[in-house]
Structure 1
Amino acid sequence: MHFTCPLCKTENKIDADFRIKEYICRSCSNLIDIAKNTSTKVVKKPVESVVLEVGRKGMIDEVEYTVTGIIIRKYGTHIFWREYFLKDKKGEDAFLSESDGHWVFLHSIDGMDVKKKLNGKAAELHGRNYRWYETTECTIHAAAGFFEDRLNFGLATYREYVNATQMISQEQSGGTNEYFFGMHISKYKVKRAFKIPHLPHYSGVGIVQPFYFNFKQTINIMAVAALMICLIQLYVVTSRTNKSVFEEEINFTDVKDKEKVSKSFELSGGSAPLKVEVSSNVDNSWASVGLSLVNEATNEIAFASKDIEQYHGYEDGESWSEGSGNETFNFCGVAPGKYHFLISADKEGNASDPFKKGYQFDNGNYSVIQDGKGSYYMKDNKTSEIKTYADKFFLQSELMTMNNILGKPQEILKIDSILSNAIPTEYNYEMKPDNNPTVKIKAEWLPVSFWNFTIVLIILIIFVGACYLGRKIFETNKWANSSNSPYPQS
Structure 2
Amino acid sequence: MKKPAQSFFKLSETIPCSVCKQNIVLYDSAKSEYIACPSCYSYLHIVNQVECRLNKKLNQPEKVVVLKLGSTANIHGTDFQVIAYLEKKESNTIYAWREYILNSLEKGYVTLSEFNGHWNFIAGKEFLTDYKQPTNCGQNVNYKDIEYKLFNKYSPIVTAMLGEVDWDVVNERVKATEYIAPPFMIVKEVMNKPKHYTDYYIGEYLSSDEIATAFNLDKSSLPEQIGIGANQPSQAYYRWISSLKATCIATIVVLLLHVLFSVVKPEKELINDNFLITYDAKAGADAFKPFITPSFVMEDESSNIEFDIASGVDNNWLETTIVLVNEANNQTWEVSKGIEYYHGIEDGESWQEGSTEESILLSDIPKGKYHLNVYPSSGYTYRNNLFIRATANVSMLRNTLITIMILCLFPAICWYLMRNYEKRRWDNSDFSPFVKAD
Matched, 1:67 2:82: yes
- Structure 1 488/227 Cα, relative in aligned 2: closer, same or farther at 3 Å? same
SS in 1 for 2:168: coil
Determine if contact 1:49/1:200 at 8 Å carries over to the other structure: no
- Structure 1 136/232 Cα, relative in aligned 2: closer, same or farther at 3 Å? same
CA distance in 1, matches of 2:38, 2:399: 68
User: What displacement does 1:73 show?
Assistant: 0.9
**Quick one: which amino acid aligns to residue 82 of structure 1?**
R
User: What displacement does 1:195 show?
Assistant: 2.8
Equivalence for 1:468: 415
Of the three residues 182, 196, 200, the one matched with 2:223 is 200
CA distance in 2, matches of 1:132, 1:26: 37
SS in 1 for 2:214: helix
Of the three residues 167, 180, 185, the one matched with 2:201 is 180
**Quick one: which amino acid aligns to residue 59 of structure 2?**
K
CA distance in 1, matches of 2:16, 2:261: 82
Equivalence for 2:133: 113
CA distance in 1, matches of 2:180, 2:410: 28
User: What displacement does 1:88 show?
Assistant: 2.2
Q: How does 1:150-299 map to 2 (within 5 A)?
A: 150-153=168-171, 155-173=173-191, 174-175=193-194, 177=197, 178-197=199-218, 198=220, 199-212=222-235, 213-214=237-238, 215-228=240-253
**Quick one: which amino acid aligns to residue 81 of structure 1?**
W
User: What displacement does 1:465 show?
Assistant: 0.6
Determine if contact 2:22/2:39 at 8 Å carries over to the other structure: no
Q: How does 1:404-415 map to 2 (within 5 A)?
A: none
Equivalence for 2:41: 29
Q: Which runs of 5 or more residues in structure 2 are unaligned?
A: 1-11, 266-300, 303-325, 331-363, 365-392
Matched, 1:8 2:21: yes
Equivalence for 1:148: 166
The CA deviation string for residues 314-366 of structure 1, in whole angstroms up to 9 with x for no partner, is xxxxxxxxxxxxxxxx9xxxxxxxxxxxxxxxxxxxxxxxxxxxxxxxxxxxx
Q: How does 1:305-324 map to 2 (within 5 A)?
A: none
Q: How does 1:372-391 map to 2 (within 5 A)?
A: none
- Structure 1 223/171 Cα, relative in aligned 2: closer, same or farther at 3 Å? same
CA distance in 2, matches of 1:184, 1:79: 19
User: What displacement does 1:80 show?
Assistant: 0.6
- Structure 1 125/210 Cα, relative in aligned 2: closer, same or farther at 3 Å? same
Q: Which runs of 5 or more residues in structure 1 are unaligned?
A: 241-267, 270-276, 282-329, 331-445
CA distance in 2, matches of 1:450, 1:191: 55
- Structure 1 168/230 Cα, relative in aligned 2: closer, same or farther at 3 Å? same
- Structure 1 73/453 Cα, relative in aligned 2: closer, same or farther at 3 Å? same
Equivalence for 1:48: 63
CA distance in 2, matches of 1:154, 1:90: 25
- Structure 1 116/235 Cα, relative in aligned 2: closer, same or farther at 3 Å? closer
Q: Which moved more, 1:40-49 or 1:463-472?
A: 40-49
- Structure 1 225/18 Cα, relative in aligned 2: closer, same or farther at 3 Å? farther
CA distance in 2, matches of 1:234, 1:114: 49
**Number of positions where the alignment pairs a residue of Structure 1 with one of Structure 2:** 304
User: What displacement does 1:117 show?
Assistant: 4.3
Determine if contact 1:21/1:33 at 8 Å carries over to the other structure: yes
Determine if contact 1:57/1:65 at 8 Å carries over to the other structure: yes
CA distance in 1, matches of 2:77, 2:162: 26
Q: Which moved more, 1:145-154 or 1:42-51?
A: 42-51
CA distance in 1, matches of 2:134, 2:35: 32
**Quick one: which amino acid aligns to residue 10 of structure 1?**
N
So what's the TM-score if we normalise by structure 2?
0.56
CA distance in 2, matches of 1:17, 1:4: 9
User: What displacement does 1:147 show?
Assistant: 0.3
**Quick one: which amino acid aligns to residue 103 of structure 1?**
W
Root-mean-square deviation (CA), in Å? Answer: 4.5
CA distance in 2, matches of 1:218, 1:54: 45
Equivalence for 1:79: 95
- Structure 1 237/136 Cα, relative in aligned 2: closer, same or farther at 3 Å? same
CA distance in 1, matches of 2:30, 2:258: 66
CA distance in 1, matches of 2:429, 2:181: 13
User: What displacement does 1:31 show?
Assistant: 2.4
**Quick one: which amino acid aligns to residue 161 of structure 2?**
A
Matched, 1:138 2:156: yes
User: What displacement does 1:140 show?
Assistant: 0.7
**Quick one: which amino acid aligns to residue 211 of structure 1?**
S
CA distance in 1, matches of 2:158, 2:112: 16
User: What displacement does 1:20 show?
Assistant: 0.8
Q: How does 1:363-442 map to 2 (within 5 A)?
A: none
So what's the TM-score if we normalise by structure 1?
0.51
Determine if contact 1:5/1:32 at 8 Å carries over to the other structure: no
Determine if contact 1:74/1:140 at 8 Å carries over to the other structure: yes
CA distance in 2, matches of 1:146, 1:52: 15
Determine if contact 1:8/1:28 at 8 Å carries over to the other structure: no
User: What displacement does 1:155 show?
Assistant: 4.8
Of the three residues 81, 89, 93, the one matched with 2:105 is 89
SS in 2 for 1:487: helix
CA distance in 2, matches of 1:195, 1:207: 26
- Structure 1 461/83 Cα, relative in aligned 2: closer, same or farther at 3 Å? same
CA distance in 1, matches of 2:105, 2:120: 21
Matched, 1:487 2:429: no
Determine if contact 1:46/1:70 at 8 Å carries over to the other structure: no
